[in-house]
Amino acid sequence: MLINELSKRTGVTAHTIRFYEKSGLIKGKRDENVKSNNYFQYDEETVEKLELIRDAKSIGFTLNEIGQLMDAWYNNKITISEKLKILDEKLLSIDSKIKHLKEMKKLVSEFKKSVETEGC
């Protein structure tokens, strides 16, 4: 499939797909039988990878982390226990961020009360 169809199927813009390609996260292939254009073709694995990228980004993985994970996942370089360790580490990181955000929220609430009561 061409980039426009890939974009429609995944909900990822063509611009973002090209960015991921330049970043090495996905790879299109040229059809050697077609000489009239230089278009990249994408397969079902690319659809899966884009969905993985989208999901990983939504839970806080950086593009660098995603690249490392995808390389390991798709090339079977890590075991299931190593995959679980990576996910456990991400969960700890998320818990830490939640704790920090709760602390920030508490401080902002205290500042707000101070402004309300003291009129600062």
Q: What is the pLDDT at residue 33?
A: 72
Convert the pLDDT of each residue in 4-63 to its tens digit. Answer: 999 999 999 999 999 999 999 998 888 777 666 778 889 999 999 999 999 889 888 899
Mean pLDDT of 65-94: 84
| Residue 92 in domain | yes
Span between the terminal Cα atoms of the chain, in Å: 61
Q: What is the pLDDT at residue 30?
A: 82
Say which residues have a Cβ less than 8 Å from residue 86's Cβ, sequence separation at least 6. Answer: 69, 78
* Amino acid sitting at position 65: E
- The verdict on 85 and 111 lying in the same domain is yes
Domains: count for the chain: 2
Query: How far apart, in Å, are the Cα atoms of 36 and each of 29, 30, 31, 39?
Result: 15, 11, 10, 9
| Residue 118 in domain | yes
Going by pLDDT thresholds of 50, 70 and 90, the confidence category of residue 105 is very high
| Residue 66 in domain | no
| Domain range for 85 | 78-120
- The verdict on 2 and 56 lying in the same domain is yes
> Which of 11, 29, 61 is the last residue before a domain boundary?
61
Identify whether the C-beta of residue 1 lies closer than 8 Å to the C-beta of residue 29.
Answer: no
> Residue 51 belongs to what H/E stretch?
helix 44-58
pTM over 0.75: no
- The verdict on 45 and 89 lying in the same domain is no
